[in-house]
Amino acid sequence: MSFPSVVEIAGEVRAGRVTARAVTEATLSRIARRNPALNAFTAVLTERALARAEKVDAALTAGQPVGPLAGVPFAVKNLFDIEGLPTLAGSSIRRSAAPPSRDATLIQRLEAAGAILVGALNMDEFAYGFVTENAHDGPTHNPHDLSRIAGGSSGGSAAAVAAGLTPLTLGSDTNGSIRIPASLCGVYGLKPTYGRLSRQGVFPFVESLDHAGAFARSVEDLALAYDVMQGQDTEGDAICIRAAEPVSDKLSALAATPLRVGVLGGWFAQGAFPEVLEALDAVAKALDARDGVILPGAQAARAAAFCLTPVEAAHLHLSNLKTWAMDYDPAVRDRLLAGALLPPGIAEAAQRYRTIFRDEVRRAFERFDILLAPSSVCPAPGIGQATMEMGGEQVSVRKNLGAFTQPISYIGLPVLAAPVNRPGRLPIGVQIIAPAWREDLALAAGLRLQRLGVVAAHEPESFQ
Active site residues: 77, 153, 177
Q: How far is 232 from 206, CA to CA, in rounded Å?
A: 21
**Beta-sheet strands, E only, within 130-253:** 133-134, 138-139, 141-142, 145-149, 168-173, 188-191, 211-216
Vertex 409 angle, CA 377 and 457, to 5°: 55
Residue 107: strand, helix, or coil: helix
Residue 217: strand, helix, or coil: coil
Q: Which residues 6+ apart lie within 8 Å of 423 measured at CB? A: none
Which helix or strand (DSSP H or E) is residue 356 part of?
helix 344-365
Q: Quick one: residue 25, left, alpha or beta (phi over 0 = left, psi -120 to 50 = alpha)?
A: alpha
Q: How far is 187 from 156, CA to CA, in rounded Å?
A: 12
Dihedral, 139, 144, 147, 149 alpha carbons, nearest 10:
-40
**Beta-sheet strands, E only, within 358-435:** 370-374, 387-390, 393-396, 415-419, 429-433
Whether 211 and 194 have beta carbons less than 8 Å apart is answered as: yes
**Beta-sheet strands, E only, within 63-167:** 73-77, 116-121, 133-134, 138-139, 141-142, 145-149
Q: How far is 301 from 351, CA to CA, in rounded Å?
A: 10
User: For 420, which DSSP code?
Assistant: B
Q: How far is 118 from 419, CA to CA, in rounded Å?
A: 25
Residue 36: strand, helix, or coil: helix
Q: Which pairs count as long-range contacts for 388-396, CB under 8 Å and 24+ apart, including other chains?
A: 390/270, 390/271, 391/270, 391/271, 395/271
Give residue 459's Cα distance to chain centre.
18
- Burial code (b: 16+ CB inside 10 Å, e: under 16) for 251-264 equals beebbeeebebbbb
